[in-house]
Structure 1
Amino acid sequence: MLLAMDVGNTNITIGVHSNNEWIGTFRMTTKTPRTSDEYGLFLLALLNSKKIEVKDIDGVIISSVVPNIMYSLNNGVRKYIRLEPMIVGPGIKTGISIHTDDPREVGADRIVDAAGGFYEYGGPLLVIDFGTATTYDFISEKGVFEVAVTSPGIKITANALWQKAAKLPEIEIKKPSSILARNTIDSMQAGLVYGYIGQVEYIVKKMKEELKLPNMKVVATGGLARVMQGETEAIDIYDSILTFKGLKHIYDRNRGK
């Protein structure tokens, strides 16, 4: 079994792979400070909830964009899972070539998504990850990560709205029944969701135009992709476990499988 973890700015997503399927997926918050024991015990509890035995796990891979928790997380894995985790970073084989101005600036999460998207769906491909930030990453037909767009995530946008406007309440991010809102909550939801749909459609359109790839496939993933799912024709495929697929591919590639 493979234990895969993706450490994002908001959440840590965790998946367990066995016999060609993901038999358990979990989510925990990133920002809460934790010791190695807390991480380890939390992982044991999650695994136990799916009746997964620690002794059956023979590999661990982690990608992270939050360096300051990695010491405790790595030690938690070593102490409680009793394995040395493989870390997505410099020197690891991903199968994706990065041809940006400074490849070191490209986060591990984006590389993992690119690998998952390319080896699952082929290229040319645009991967949109709706997370803390929303990222639009282009991978060529040869598996080259060439260009990228980064925008504030829909939750960041929502937080700015109600934190900076004293009389606006915190609301659930969902599409209202109509854009013709008649109350404050519906009007905020309409602005957030329809406005974000407009952003997605325009960025995808412009990237296709400038890349001269009008039929490029677009794959969406990330915790907030569910808000966009089915709301725009700009997205061809919604894949909730694309990151896990990328981590599995990278793990196998570096284990010689």
Structure 2
Amino acid sequence: MVLLLDCGNTHTVFGCADSEGKLSQIFRMETNRKKTGFEYASDIRQIFALLKIDPDGFCGAVISSVVPQLTEPYREALRMAIGRDALVIGPGIRTGLRIRIDDPGTIAPDLVAGAVAAKAKYPLPAIIIDMGTATTITVVDQNGDYIGGVILPGVGISMNALASETSLLPSIDVAPSKKLIATSTGDAMRSGIVYGTAGALDGIIDRFLSELHTEATLLGTGGLAGVICPYCRHKILVDEELLLHGLWHLFQLNEREAHRTSRES
């Protein structure tokens, strides 16, 4: 098995993948910037025990982290938890993508993982909507090249700003309201967040399609994709494990390259 780790700003997602890329035992932990590698190793081993995962059953691990200060603690934690040194997604690794942005070295690892998975699993071009702490909408073109995208505030950030910057509006959960034209303050906020975000996604997708001059596969992933995407007018396929699939493909690609280099030397 390969242990997959996707560290986001709010949560870290773990998954196990077999030799064919089939995922199992997916679990989440809070992303805590104050924890050390030892503490994360202890947490991971405790969850392994609960899920009956054999820590000696892993042949490797791969990390995507958008929290730079946690990349090394997580790497240390996996070294202690499973006895393997993890591949870290970043500059210098093989991706199988041509990254056509101004500075390819600045692309976030989660965007690389999503693009790699979209290229491997779906018809191209593909528009990838990742709804995490921030919402990113990115494009892999018909040639399999990553060509860029947009970043906008995530649903949680928008809701927190609405509640914290106003005196009369409460903190609420992210859920669809009973109807669009709401008759209570809480439902009015839910309508605004859900339909406002869905409308923003639809508008950006329309503009992307105009710029691409072709139809595209529309993919949604991230914690809130399943809540928001059904309210979009475009048909968006929600793939909650898209990034984990991308991490598995990246691990396989770099393992093959390492074996080839080893044989040549």
**Is this a same-fold pair by TM over 0.5?**
yes
| In 1: Cα distance, 2:211 partner to 2:229 partner | 25
Q: What one-letter code is carried by the residue in structure 2 that aligns with 1:99?
A: R
State the secondary structure of the residue aligned to 2:91.
Answer: coil
> TM (normalized to structure 1)?
0.96
| In 1: Cα distance, 2:97 partner to 2:49 partner | 35
1:163 maps to which residue?
A: 164
Flag the 1:122–1:9 CA change in 2: closer, same or farther, 3 A. Answer: same
| In 1: Cα distance, 2:97 partner to 2:33 partner | 32
Deviation at 1:147, TM superposition (A): 2.2
Contact 2:33 2:69 in 1 (8 A): no
1:225 maps to which residue?
A: 225
Contact 1:130 1:153 in 2 (8 A): yes
Q: How does 1:21-60 map to 2 (within 5 A)?
A: 21-60=22-61
| In 2: Cα distance, 1:9 partner to 1:17 partner | 23
2:261 maps to which residue?
A: none
Flag the 1:19–1:74 CA change in 2: closer, same or farther, 3 A. Answer: closer
| In 2: Cα distance, 1:122 partner to 1:216 partner | 8
State the secondary structure of the residue aligned to 1:112.
Answer: helix
Contact 2:195 2:231 in 1 (8 A): no
Contact 2:198 2:229 in 1 (8 A): no
State the secondary structure of the residue aligned to 1:104.
Answer: helix
Q: What one-letter code is carried by the residue in structure 2 that aligns with 1:231?
A: Y
Contact 1:16 1:24 in 2 (8 A): yes
Q: What one-letter code is carried by the residue in structure 1 that aligns with 2:144?
A: G
1:255 maps to which residue?
A: 255
Deviation at 1:103, TM superposition (A): 1.2
Q: Deviations over 1:63-118 (max 9, x none)?
A: 11111112221111112211101111111111111011111221011011000111
1:107 maps to which residue?
A: 108
* Unmatched tracts of structure 2, length 5 or more: 258-265
Contact 1:220 1:235 in 2 (8 A): no
Using the aligned pairs only, state the percent identity.
32
Deviation at 1:32, TM superposition (A): 4.4
Q: How does 1:97-176 map to 2 (within 5 A)?
A: 97-176=98-177
- Structure 1 residue 5 corresponds to structure 2 residue 5: yes
Q: Deviations over 1:175-234 (max 9, x none)?
A: 111011111101110111111111011000011012212x21111101110112422232
Contact 1:135 1:149 in 2 (8 A): yes
State the secondary structure of the residue aligned to 1:147.
Answer: strand
RMSD over equivalenced CA pairs, Å: 1.3
| In 2: Cα distance, 1:103 partner to 1:32 partner | 26
| In 2: Cα distance, 1:32 partner to 1:109 partner | 18
Contact 1:60 1:83 in 2 (8 A): yes
| In 1: Cα distance, 2:170 partner to 2:244 partner | 35
Contact 2:94 2:254 in 1 (8 A): yes
- Structure 1 residue 66 corresponds to structure 2 residue 60: no
Runs of 4+ in 1 over 4 A off after TM superposition: none
| In 2: Cα distance, 1:49 partner to 1:117 partner | 32
| In 2: Cα distance, 1:230 partner to 1:245 partner | 22
1:83 maps to which residue?
A: 84
Q: What one-letter code is carried by the residue in structure 1 that aligns with 2:155?
A: I
* Unmatched tracts of structure 1, length 5 or more: none
| In 2: Cα distance, 1:82 partner to 1:58 partner | 9
> TM (normalized to structure 2)?
0.93
Contact 1:11 1:29 in 2 (8 A): yes
